[in-house]
C-alpha cells in the first residue's frame, strides 16, 4: 500500500512593511500620502531638468523649508505648517492650498518649497506665474500645440500657480483658468495657489473652487513686506 505524501503547508508570503509616510502607511495620515518609494523606485533613477517643471535652479537651495525664517507672525507660521503638510503629501486637509497676502510675506517661498519637495520625490510638477502660464498656453495657437499644452498643464501631479490674479484678458484668462482649476477640483489633484487678489477679482467659478472648504485650505497671511525689513532680500 503506497503511502500518501503529506502536503506541505503553503508558505504565506510576508507582507511588505510600508515605509513611514507612504500610501500603505494607513496608521499615518491615510492612503492619499504621495510618498511612493516602496513600489516606484524607478522615479529616482530618471534624470530630470528642473526648468521643465518651471523651477528656477537658483531656488533649489534658497527657497526651501530650512531657509524659511520664522518672524513670529501667527498667520505666516500657519502658512508654513500647511505648506509643509502638503509637501510631505498629506492631502487629508484638502487638495488645494491657497496662500493669500500682500507682496513680500513669503507666499512664493513656501510654494517653491512645496514644488521642490514633490519634484525631488520624482513627481511631475509645474510651477509658474499664472500670467506666464497663460502666455505659454496662447502660443499653442501659433503652432497648433494648444491642446497638447493644455493637457500638459492640468494633468501634472502637482500644479503651482503663483501670483494668480495678475493675468490680463480677463474673459479668456478666466475661462482657461476655470478649466484648469475645475479639472483638478473634480479629479482631486493637488493645486497650490498664491495670490494677493480679492475673490471678486478672480473668475467667479475659480474663486468658488478655491474657497471650497471641502477640498481647499485658504491661509490669509497678515504680515508686512519682509523685503523692506531686510534691505531687498527676496522672499515672494
Instruction: Look up the CATH number of the domain holding residue 190.
Output: 3.40.50.300
Answer yes or no: is pLDDT of 11 > 50: no
Q: Answer whether residue 188 is part of any domain.
A: yes
Indicate whether 57 belongs to any domain.
no
Contact 125, 90 (CB under 8 A): no
**Arithmetic mean of pLDDT, 180-197:** 93
> For 86-145, how does the pLDDT look when each residue is reduced to its tens digit (9 = 90+)?
998 888 888 999 999 999 899 999 999 999 999 988 889 999 999 999 999 999 999 999
Supply the pTM of this predicted model.
Answer: 0.78
pLDDT digits (tens, 9 = 90+) for 147-178: 999 999 988 999 999 999 876 546 788 889 99
Q: Identify whether 206 is part of a domain.
A: yes
Residue 157: closest CA among 43, 63, 24: 43
Which residue range is the domain that position 214 belongs to? Answer: 72-229
159, containing H or E segment: strand 158-162
Please report whether residue 46 resides in a domain. no
For 24, 100, 206, 207, 211, the CA distances from 201, given in Å and listed in that order, are 41, 13, 10, 9, 14
Residue 169 lies in a domain: yes
In a domain, 207, yes or no: yes
185 in any annotated domain: yes
Asked whether residue 92 is domain-assigned, the answer is: yes
Q: What pLDDT was estimated at residue 111?
A: 97
Instruction: Report how many domains make up the chain.
Output: 1
Task: Look at residue 25 in the predicted model and tell me its pLDDT.
Answer: 41
Are 86 and 192 in contact by the 8 Å Cβ rule? The answer is yes
Nearest to 128 by CA among 174, 161, 98: 161
Pairing of the two strands 125-129 and 216-220? unpaired
Asked whether the predicted pLDDT for residue 27 surpasses 90, the reply is no
Amino acid at each position: 500500500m503506497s503511502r500518501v505524501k503529506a502536503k506541505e503547508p503553503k508558505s504565506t508570503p510576508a507582507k511588505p512593511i510600508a515605509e513611514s509616510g507612504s500610501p500603505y502607511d494607513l496608521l499615518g495620515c491615510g492612503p492619499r500620502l504621495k510618498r511612493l518609494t516602496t513600489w516606484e523606485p524607478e522615479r529616482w533613477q530618471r534624470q530630470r531638468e528642473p526648468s521643465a517643471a518651471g523651477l528656477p535652479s537658483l531656488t533649489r537651495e534658497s527657497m526651501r523649508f530650512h531657509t524659511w525664517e520664522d518672524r513670529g507672525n501667527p498667520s505666516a507660521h500657519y502658512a508654513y505648517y500647511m505648506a509643509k503638510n502638503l509637501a510631505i503629501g498629506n492631502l487629508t486637509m484638502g487638495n488645494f492650498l491657497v496662500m493669500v497676502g500682500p507682496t513680500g510675506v513669503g507666499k512664493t517661498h513656501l510654494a517653491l518649497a512645496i514644488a521642490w519637495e514633490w519634484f525631488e520625490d520624482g513627481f511631475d510638477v509645474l510651477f509658474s506665474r499664472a500670467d506666464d502660464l497663460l502666455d505659454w498656453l496662447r502660443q499653442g495657437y501659433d503652432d497648433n500645440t494648444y491642446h497638447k499644452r493644455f493637457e500638459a498643464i492640468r494633468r501634472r501631479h502637482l500644479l503651482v500657480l503663483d501670483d494668480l490674479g495678475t493675468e490680463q484678458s480677463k474673459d479668456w484668462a478666466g475661462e482657461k483658468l476655470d478649466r484648469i482649476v475645475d479639472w483638478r477640483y473634480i479629479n482631486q489633484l493637488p493645486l497650490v495657489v498664491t495670490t494677493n487678489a480679492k475673490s471678486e477679482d478672480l473668475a467667479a467659478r475659480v474663486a468658488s473652487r478655491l474657497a471650497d472648504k471641502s477640498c481647499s485650505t485658504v491661509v490669509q497671511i497678515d504680515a508686512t513686506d519682509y523685503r523692506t525689513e531686510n534691505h531687498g532680500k527676496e522672499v515672494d
